[in-house]
Amino acid sequence: MVRLIDVARLAGVSTATVSYVLNGTRPISDDVSERVRRAASELGYRPNRIAQALRTGSTHTLGLIVPDLSNPWFAEVVREVTLAAQKEGYLVLVADTVDNAEQERELLAKIAAHNLDGIFLIPVGTAIAAPPRLPMVVLDRAVEGFDVVCSDHIEGGRQQAGIVRAAGRRRVLLLSGPAISSAEERRSGFLEAIGGDVAVTERRIPFSRELPAEASAALVAGDFDAVVCADDLIALAVMELLHGAGRRIPGEVLVVGYDDISWVALVTGGLATIRQSPARLAAEAVARMLARVRDPGAPVETLRLPVEAQVRAAGAVARSRRPPRTTP
C-alpha cells in the first residue's frame, strides 16, 4: 500500500506539503504541486478519504436533491453539477423527491446524516421545512433565507411574450406551471410584457408531458394562434396533441416552451423556447457552495442568470444577453 510518506520522498518534499497539494488546503507553487502530483500518479497513490475526513472534518462529498429525475431539465442539471463538483475534488450524492414535500424532508435528514460538506436542493415548494445545519445552495427556484442560483425567470417570461408579439399572434393560451417560484416568475414576466391587445386564456398545470383533461379540451376547442408553456415538457405534449388534431406548427399555432432541453433538438415543427444553461447554473452553484463552506456566516445571495430566446422555424427575435443579477 502506497503511503503519503512514499509520495513525499519521491517528490522531495515534506508529507505536509503533499497533504497541502492533494487536499488543496494551502497554496503551493506550481512547480512543487506538479512534482507532488506526478509522484502520486507514478506510485498509484490514493488518499484514504475516511482518514482525511477525521483529520480535516471534510468528506469532500456534497448532496444534490431534485424533484424529478425523469424531467430532462433536472437530469441535465444533475449531470452538470456532478461534473463541476468533480473538477473541485468533490463527489455528489443524488436523490429524487418525486415532487413530494414529505420525501424532501426525509431525504434532507438522511443525507445530512452522512456528514456531507453541503447540500444542493431544487425544492418541491416555496419553503424548506426543517433544513439541516449544513451549507445549502438552492437551485432553479428562489427560496428566502438561502443562497440561490437560478435563471432570470421573469426575463424569460418577458422573452416568451416577445416571441409571441414578434410573430404577430393575438390569441394566446397560457399553460402556466404549478405554484412554485420559477413558474410564478415566468408567468409574471409574460403577463407583464404581453400587452393589452393580446387576448390571454390561462390554465394552471403541472410540469409534465401528461396534459390534464381541461388543458387538452381547451387546446382542441379553442381558437388560439399561440400556446405559451411553462416548460418544454408541456410544450412537447401540446405539439403532439396539435399535430394529432391536424394543426400546423408554427403556421397555425405558435408553441413556445421554456428550458431548451436536449429533446427539443429531436422535434420538427418549429418549437420556440427559452434557453437556460445548466452548465452555467452548475458552475455558479458549485462556486457558491465552496464559498459557503469556507465562510458559513457570510450573507446569503441570490444570483439570477441570463436566459436566451431560441426560435426555430418561426422567425428570428432579438436574443437577450443581460449579465447575471446578484441580490443580497
* pLDDT value for 188: 97
Residue 164 shares a structural domain with residue 248: yes
Same domain, 158 and 295: no
Instruction: Map residue 133 onto helix, strand or coil.
Output: coil
pLDDT at 203: 93
Which helix (H) or strand (E) segment is 33 a member of? helix 30-43
> In angstroms, rounded to a whole number, what is the distance separating the alpha carbons of residues 215 and 202?
9
Q: Are residues 286 and 145 in the same domain?
A: yes
- Answer whether 202's CB lies under 8 Å from 177's CB: no
**Residues of the domain holding 214:** 153-275
Cβ atoms within 10 Å, residue 227:
29
What's the predicted TM-score (pTM) here? 0.79
Judgement on whether residues 117 and 140 belong to the same structural domain of the protein: yes
Name the stretches of the chain with pLDDT < 50: 50, 53-54, 314-323
Whether residue 114 lies inside any domain: the answer is: yes
User: Are residues 147 and 287 both part of a single domain?
Assistant: yes
Asked if residue 55 is part of any domain, the answer here is no
Query: What is the tally of structural domains in the chain?
Result: 3
Q: Would you state the pLDDT for residue 324?
A: 55
Q: Which three cell numbers stand for residue 246?
A: 391536424
Question: Is residue 209 within 8 Å of residue 216, measured between CB atoms?
Answer: no
- 77 and 189 fall within a common domain: no
Q: Is residue 52 part of a domain?
A: no
What digits encode the pLDDT tens for the residues 84-133?
999 988 999 999 999 999 999 999 988 888 788 999 999 998 888 777 78
Based on the fold, state whether residues 225 and 242 are members of the same structural domain.
yes
- Whether residues 22 and 41 share a domain: the answer is yes
111: which 3 cell numbers? Answer: 443525507
Co-location of 144 and 220 in the same domain: no
Q: What is the pLDDT of residue 311?
A: 87
DSSP conformational letter for 272: B
Q: Is the bond preceding residue 250 a cis peptide, omega within 30 degrees?
A: yes
| 102: exposed, middle or buried (Cβ count in 10 Å: 0-12, 13-18, 19+) | exposed
| End-to-end Cα distance, the chain | 49
Residues 6+ apart with CB under 8 A from 168: none
Specify whether 147 is located in the same domain as 283.
yes
- pLDDT tens, 301-328? 999 999 999 987 543 333 334 445 555 5
